[in-house]
Structure 1
Amino acid sequence: MQVLQAVHLQKFYRAQRKNVAAVQNVSLQISAGEVLAFLGPNGAGKTTTIKIIAGLIVPDAGQVKISGRDPHRDPKALRSIGAVLEGNRNVYWRLTPEENLEYFGVLRGLSQRVARQRSQILLERFDLQDKRRALTQTLSRGMQQKLAIAVALIHDPQLLLLDEPTLGLDVEATENVKRLVREIAAEGRAILLTTHQLDIAEDLSDRVAIINQGEIVVEEPTTDLIRQFSGTAYRIELEQPLDAERFHKLGSLATVVDQLQIHLPDPETLYSVLDILRPLPIVRIEKEQAKLTEIFLKLVREGSV
């Protein structure tokens, strides 16, 4: 089931007596349970697109539907959206976590009783029960971010907009947020993730859409995109250095990077190389894969030529 359908979006702004295209013919779809990483350099049109989806900007052309409703014509569609914005703009620092959840629950149409019930469930789930009556400003950055995600979920939205959800977090807090994102998607929510931390996007996303100069330059399943840009070479890492005899035998089949690493540009030689190495202990054998960061930079630079 498709939760988000954004079709042929366009938005122009007036600058220096000219119409400047911020968004040109952008289409995005996200199904229930799916994480779409929406990536692009600064000024590429990401923010404008997200504001159109969230109902904050009216497009000059195109249409948005969230669970079948247009947020620009039907205010009920906005109840299907939860958002976590980059920075500290998601919660009130002088309220407690409990107060934040109840306040935003009522603000988004829940009765006070239901808001209180859901806030207790979310505090427990996000491991914030012990801090429920502490001022939000006294919480760690990781706890504040977990609270922001909980607040975004208080009204049970079907689409979650996540903008830089792990920015500024330490390793442990980052892993906690990543786990929560996976769990939220597994519950059947659609997630639109924007981040400049492309390793996070690679870890979390099912699909990637890259926007540049207002246009989508690629939209693919994450694994397919990485596969397209990956080569066929293999790398073998050894536990102990090569001896002179094996080093010599490998000369025509592989490139010995150092005494502990071997690079195989031709995958057809893999098993011949393994026969030569036998019985040396091997730490790992892996196919060399492109990283999403490399792919992103290549596509953006090609698109800007």
Structure 2
Amino acid sequence: MQMVEYAVETFDLTKIFESKENGVKRYIKAVDHVNIKVKQGEFFGLLGPNGAGKTTLIKMLCTIILPTEGTAKVNGYDIIKEPYKVRSSFGWFHGETGGRSLYWRLSAEDNLKFYAYLQNVPKDVAERRISALLEFFGLTKERKKLVKDYSTGMKVRVMLARALLHNPPILFMDEPTIGLDTISAVETRQLLKALNVELGKNRDFHKPQYV
């Protein structure tokens, strides 16, 4: 893990989308010269109404889309100049997918094994991490059950486990409780609060930072 003062820094980060309506170009400024600093170990929340640019900002930090102006550093790496190093520095949880990003005809355990392979996690380390994550998220008894038979709340827990498999120093979460009932949403928030403490006790993990 690279030791830097800030998990995330943005420098006049801006995103302008171009569209055309009736032959006329329109420009929409989704993110306007944002400057933020997120310290190591900090929980940091982006608040705003729908369309405020929260998801666009996170997508730029995740190197999914390029900024129009400015730049940012994630774990000390520049999102424009060092995108591959940035991508290895974070886990991303996007709640709006409702579990669609999982393979529903595979079990939770097999989903995690597959994604561990994609993340180049050594097999022995992956097995330990998968067991630890399934236990933490209360899915050990359901590990062989097909994801298609999981509740929405259980799918959310599998997606969170997947985001942590490669032991990222930073975890980006976009709408982590969207689509959940009140009880599941509260349980998810409690799990997120406990993650730093519980996973920090496990030798296969270090404590992630949250945005």
TM-score by length of 2: 0.83
Q: Could you say if the C-alpha distance between residues 96 and 10 of structure 1 is closer, same or farther in structure 2, counting changes exceeding 3 Å?
A: same
- Provide the residue aligned with 2:188 in structure 1: 177
Question: Are positions 1:84 and 2:93 aligned together?
Answer: yes
The answer on whether the counterparts of 1:6 and 1:28 sit within 8 Å (CA) in structure 2 is yes
Quote the Cα distance in structure 1 between the aligned partners of 2:185 and 2:18. Answer: 40
Q: Which of residues 73, 94, 111 in structure 1 aligns to 2:122? A: 111
Quote the Cα distance in structure 1 between the aligned partners of 2:30 and 2:186. Answer: 34
Q: Which of residues 30, 39, 49 in structure 1 aligns to 2:38? A: 30
Quote the Cα distance in structure 1 between the aligned partners of 2:106 and 2:80. Answer: 31
Q: Kindly, what percent of the aligned residue pairs are identical?
A: 34
Question: Are positions 1:126 and 2:125 aligned together?
Answer: no
Q: Which of residues 142, 155, 164 in structure 2 aligns to 1:153? A: 164
Quote the Cα distance in structure 2 between the aligned partners of 1:18 and 1:163. Answer: 27
The aligned length equals: 192
TM-score by length of 1: 0.59
Q: Which of residues 189, 201, 211 in structure 1 aligns to 2:208? A: 189
- Provide the residue aligned with 1:141 in structure 2: 152
Pairwise CA distance, 1:96: 0.7
Pairwise CA distance, 1:184: 2.7
- Provide the residue aligned with 2:105 in structure 1: 94
Q: Which structure 2 residues correspond to residues 250-265 of structure 1 after superposition, within 5 A?
A: none
The superposition leaves residues 70-118 of structure 1 with CA deviations (integer Å, 9 ceiling, x where unpaired) of 2333202211111111222342211111111111112122123322221
5+ unaligned residues in a row in structure 1: which ranges? 193-305
The answer on whether the counterparts of 2:88 and 2:168 sit within 8 Å (CA) in structure 1 is yes
Pairwise CA distance, 1:185: 4.3
Question: Are positions 1:3 and 2:11 aligned together?
Answer: no
Worse overlay, 20-29 or 91-100: 20-29
Q: Could you say if the C-alpha distance between residues 8 and 89 of structure 1 is closer, same or farther in structure 2, counting changes exceeding 3 Å?
A: farther
Question: Are positions 1:55 and 2:66 aligned together?
Answer: no
2:99 aligned counterpart, secondary structure: coil
Pairwise CA distance, 1:20: 2.9
Quote the Cα distance in structure 1 between the aligned partners of 2:151 and 2:28. Answer: 42
5+ unaligned residues in a row in structure 2: which ranges? 201-206
Q: Over the residues paired in the alignment, what is the CA RMSD in angstroms?
A: 1.8
Select the structure of larger CA radius of gyration: 1
The answer on whether the counterparts of 1:12 and 1:20 sit within 8 Å (CA) in structure 2 is yes
- Provide the residue aligned with 1:271 in structure 2: none
The answer on whether the counterparts of 1:12 and 1:21 sit within 8 Å (CA) in structure 2 is yes
Quote the Cα distance in structure 2 between the aligned partners of 1:89 and 1:33. Answer: 30
Question: Are positions 1:71 and 2:79 aligned together?
Answer: yes
